[in-house]
Structure 1
Amino acid sequence: MTEPSIWWQHRADPPTQPSVPGDPGPQETFDVVVVGAGVTGLATALELVRAGRSVLVVEARHPGAVTSGRTTGKVSALQGTTLSELRRRHGDSPRVTAYVESTLAALDWVAAFCDEHGVATQRRDAVTYAASRDDVSTVRAEHDAALDAGLGVRFETDPDLPVPAYAATVLPDQLQLDPVELVLAMLEQVRKAGGRLLTGRRVQRLRQRGETVHVLGEDGLEVQGRHVVLATGAPVVDRRMHFARLTPQRSYLLAFTHPDPPDLMALSAGSPGRSWRGGELDGRRMLLVGGEGHETGRGPRESTRVDRLRRWTDEHFPDAVELGAWSAQDYMSLDGLPLVGGLGGPSSSVSVATGYRKWGLTSGVAAGIALAGAQSGAEAPWSERLYTRAPRLRDVPAFLGVQAGVALGQAGSLARGVRRPPPVEAARSGGCAALPVCTHLGGTLRWNDHEQTYDCPLHGSRFSADGEVLEGPATRALPRLPRLPGTGGRSSS
């Protein structure tokens, strides 16, 4: 697959992946098997190995390959309009307070880790601003919610920003960093503490036998753990249908060189959202611009969304020179809070972590702290309040709304017809095209013209042009359509 350039992963002098021991022996049983080598999986693994547990991390691609390696690199307790949205949903619930506590704990964890292990960070103001007069009340609500949560925000009625802004709430002393550098440093510390890693091995099934969980997957993968953590975005092994409690969201990010990038991290309120910040990487002064979020596989073409970001950047930062454009996927839970804890049902020894609403560098680390604490007996004080999953009547409308969206996404995909890749893409895959039907639950896939992928509008599974799984709840590649006679080597697509 030809992916758009991901600046974090395509530097002039990228760090080499740390070496780790290879395949475990057939009879070896780990205390915990962690599936997924992003920020959540590696934070979980690192906390566990520090507590003396034996840990194996299994990664389908390479560390940081999916969401963790594609973020804006913001580590902040001011997260757009998150706190005011949570307060509207939950009122004065202790879960909202616990969310803030977990975010601050994660921020402190990341800051301490980066300082100790030489990961470069910059302290910056985080800003949520009103790009129109209609958004001023939204920003004021976020400011009030942040103040009530104990955050040291200040309100500005005439913010000095390089884009139109009618009000802003500002939280000083937050962090920005290179997320791939963080992932690789975390992996190195897992290795040094005795953790193990398997890459290029996709987990497809779990089988619980007594107190041991057998983890099964591609290429004969079979490893054993007393506990398994699914740190894979959407859970890839999901007997309890957690995927039905999540909405997959894609958003886009462009990297530019710029002679004078802003020294802050900003996110607009309202729609369409715009996220931007300055920075430096490999000696280059950079501007990162993101936004255009939408439910995966639905709505206007992906390339159209990226072009909107380009036009916005050209208008407000005319000296910016583009280096690369890519996108990332994250998940929204029914109640807007992270979905972290036991998988439930017969899989009592399996935990999941997802639903970070695009703030995984804090919520993913917090999930790792909580999951490791549950195994080691050192639970975080906010964990039980935040991740309680007792059924509540107020979840029912949200659940029905998610399912209605799934139905509409499928109907829309069928009505438009499947966007197929150009013939050259099929030719690259040996003259045989992938059948565009999701191997998760049979959804009709849509061709993503920006990233050259097939995307599922139901639950967010994504596949390369030749049918290989990239992310989402699907675990098996797309079936292939044979070449039709007389097509001269061209695919039937």
Structure 2
Amino acid sequence: MSAQSVWWQRRGDPPTQPEGPDSPGPDEVFDAVVVGAGVTGLATALELVRAGRSVLVVEARHPGAVTSGRTTGKVSALQGTTLSELRRKHGDSARVPAYVDSSLAALDWVAAFCEEHRVATSRRDALTYAASRDEVPTVREEHEAALSLGLPVRYETAPDLPVPAHAATVLPDQLQLDPVELVLAMLEQVRSGGGRLLTGRRVQRLRQRGEVVHVLGEDGLDVRGRHVVLATGAPVVDRRMHFARLTAQRSYLMAFSHPDPPEVMALSAGSPGRSWRGGELDGRRLLLVGGEGHETGRGPRESSRVDRLREWSQEHFPDAVELGAWSAQDYMSLDGLPLVGGLGGPSSSVSVATGYRKWGLTSGIAAGIALAGAQTGSPAPWADELYTRLPRLRDLPAFLGVQAGVTLGEVGALASGVRRPPSRAAVEAGGCAALPVCTHLGGTLRWNDHEQTYDCPLHGSRFSADGEVLEGPATRSLARVPALPRLPGTGGRSST
């Protein structure tokens, strides 16, 4: 089965265009350079071009290549157990109501955009449900948190679902869609508004000269902007050590054709989590199932996680016919809220956006609205309370926990081993294989047997079998070493 998301299966990945009509002139300076063409970057760019700003979007691969094109396509203000978790972390702080306000603003933005530009959407109930009786108190807590924050949820003690469910909190009238259709429509509107796009150009560093920031990267990339937005998941330029304030997490998704898919968007409250929804794609009824989340590069083999997800789907949806299985990566911050705002240090004209805890189609849109508003003098009413905050003393335990996890991840990677044959492409390229040492901070990489990638257990950088950067804070390809001679008993393969 394909490891490509079902959204890209129907289209095929678009080609990259390192050069073309959008390439800037040698002395051209943009009002904003946006790095990353997912929903955050494109929402920022679109809001800026609507305000009359000149914008260049720079993307290392192609628009929607990473997380935005690999989600389940849910846009919702009810996000599993997020609200109760934030209440426990932040108490009565105004940050939690601001988070809800940002989610509702993003939902309204997406609904209005899709209606105007004919992007297909469906309105659905969003549910957080208890898959076992032990999870009922968790669901009740989420329900009460949502009610107290003004969301019109209802509580069901016996929800009618196709899976075991002992209680549910339900928020009506949320959105589901094809995320790639959204990305491509947003890109079209950015370009029709005068924005420009460079693809296949990876940014590696920034250099500020007065009021102009030089965005530098592979193949001599040097573009200039008065402001730069890093909308790349983990910031690829990181003077405030955001990578140490984030945990990279992967989760797995499967698509099935199904004769009668559910008409709700559901997420279980416990562990292991299960996220599922129905839908329609190209006239075919569709079931999407996600879950088995874990910290990138750590724990059991990735293929075993997909197998568990497949077994669960077959048990509860026996008529489902598998179409594909893939995974996506997102980031958790220390305090559970998105990290959005200035990079700090000498680059005061650089902003970052990350930490969406797997709800990027909602929080990523909100981040784009806020970042553009900050530049145009039209700030979102919830942005200052939600995003403008310094690390606090109570963040210290979470910070130490992240660093302990990083250490354990490195130990686990060393213990599990990373030796594997060089890829066929590596051999064809000259008998060399990638050296499995992360180019970010030297972490020992683990082989991901589901996606055929090298994954870093420290900060979530990922590389192809041939060593090319796929995502994460790393910006440079893996070093390459000559393949060792074939060894007896290895099936004609060699090891690195």
CA displacement, residues 57-99 of structure 1 (integer Å, 9 cap, x when unaligned): 0000000000000000000010000000000000011000000
Letter of the 1:259 partner, please give it: P
* Shift in CA distance, 483/83, structure 1 to aligned 2, threshold 3 Å: same
d(CA) in 2 for partners of 1:201, 1:468 = 13
State whether residues 421 and 493 of structure 2, in contact with CA within 8 Å, keep that contact through their aligned partners in structure 1.
no
* Shift in CA distance, 17/238, structure 1 to aligned 2, threshold 3 Å: closer
Counterpart in 1 of 2:353? 353
Question: Residues 457-476 of structure 1: matches in 2 within 5 Å?
Answer: 457-476=457-476
d(CA) in 2 for partners of 1:407, 1:236 = 22
d(CA) in 1 for partners of 2:401, 2:107 = 33
d(CA) in 1 for partners of 2:4, 2:188 = 25
Stretches of structure 1 lacking an aligned partner (at least 5 in a row)? none
Question: Residues 267-286 of structure 1: matches in 2 within 5 Å?
Answer: 267-286=267-286
State whether residues 38 and 231 of structure 1, in contact with CA within 8 Å, keep that contact through their aligned partners in structure 2.
yes
RMSD between aligned residues: 1.9
Which secondary structure state, in structure 2, belongs to the residue aligned with residue 69 of structure 1?
helix
Letter of the 2:7 partner, please give it: W
* Shift in CA distance, 316/330, structure 1 to aligned 2, threshold 3 Å: same
* Shift in CA distance, 88/107, structure 1 to aligned 2, threshold 3 Å: same
Letter of the 1:6 partner, please give it: S
State whether residues 131 and 268 of structure 2, in contact with CA within 8 Å, keep that contact through their aligned partners in structure 1.
yes
CA displacement, residues 377-427 of structure 1 (integer Å, 9 cap, x when unaligned): 000000000002223111111111100000010011112221525664653
Letter of the 1:152 partner, please give it: P
Counterpart in 1 of 2:7? 8
TM-score (norm 1): 0.97
Letter of the 1:118 partner, please give it: R
Question: Residues 438-449 of structure 1: matches in 2 within 5 Å?
Answer: 438-449=438-449
Which secondary structure state, in structure 2, belongs to the residue aligned with residue 346 of structure 1?
coil
Which secondary structure state, in structure 2, belongs to the residue aligned with residue 176 of structure 1?
strand
State whether residues 127 and 169 of structure 1, in contact with CA within 8 Å, keep that contact through their aligned partners in structure 2.
yes
State whether residues 32 and 225 of structure 2, in contact with CA within 8 Å, keep that contact through their aligned partners in structure 1.
yes
Letter of the 2:132 partner, please give it: S
- TM superposition shift of 1:6: 1.5
Letter of the 1:10 partner, please give it: Q
State whether residues 16 and 61 of structure 2, in contact with CA within 8 Å, keep that contact through their aligned partners in structure 1.
no
d(CA) in 1 for partners of 2:446, 2:14 = 35
Stretches of structure 2 lacking an aligned partner (at least 5 in a row)? none
d(CA) in 1 for partners of 2:458, 2:11 = 38
d(CA) in 2 for partners of 1:289, 1:411 = 32
- TM superposition shift of 1:283: 1.0
- TM superposition shift of 1:47: 0.3
- TM superposition shift of 1:10: 1.0
Question: Residues 257-406 of structure 1: matches in 2 within 5 Å?
Answer: 257-406=257-406
Counterpart in 2 of 1:212? 212
Counterpart in 2 of 1:185? 185
d(CA) in 2 for partners of 1:378, 1:143 = 33
State whether residues 15 and 62 of structure 2, in contact with CA within 8 Å, keep that contact through their aligned partners in structure 1.
no
State whether residues 482 and 492 of structure 1, in contact with CA within 8 Å, keep that contact through their aligned partners in structure 2.
no
Of all paired residues, the percent bearing the same amino acid is 83
Letter of the 2:146 partner, please give it: A
Counterpart in 1 of 2:194? 194
Counterpart in 2 of 1:228? 228
d(CA) in 1 for partners of 2:274, 2:119 = 27
d(CA) in 2 for partners of 1:17, 1:200 = 5
State whether residues 155 and 168 of structure 1, in contact with CA within 8 Å, keep that contact through their aligned partners in structure 2.
yes
- TM superposition shift of 1:5: 2.8
- TM superposition shift of 1:235: 0.1
- TM superposition shift of 1:17: 9.8
d(CA) in 1 for partners of 2:200, 2:307 = 33
CA displacement, residues 112-138 of structure 1 (integer Å, 9 cap, x when unaligned): 000000000000000000000000000
Counterpart in 2 of 1:80? 80
Which secondary structure state, in structure 2, belongs to the residue aligned with residue 344 of structure 1?
coil
d(CA) in 1 for partners of 2:357, 2:199 = 26
Question: Residues 111-150 of structure 1: matches in 2 within 5 Å?
Answer: 111-150=111-150
Counterpart in 1 of 2:158? 158
d(CA) in 2 for partners of 1:168, 1:80 = 10
Does 1:92 find its partner at 2:120? no
Counterpart in 1 of 2:237? 237
* Shift in CA distance, 340/491, structure 1 to aligned 2, threshold 3 Å: same
Moved more, 17-26 or 191-200: 17-26
d(CA) in 1 for partners of 2:371, 2:161 = 40
- TM superposition shift of 1:483: 3.3
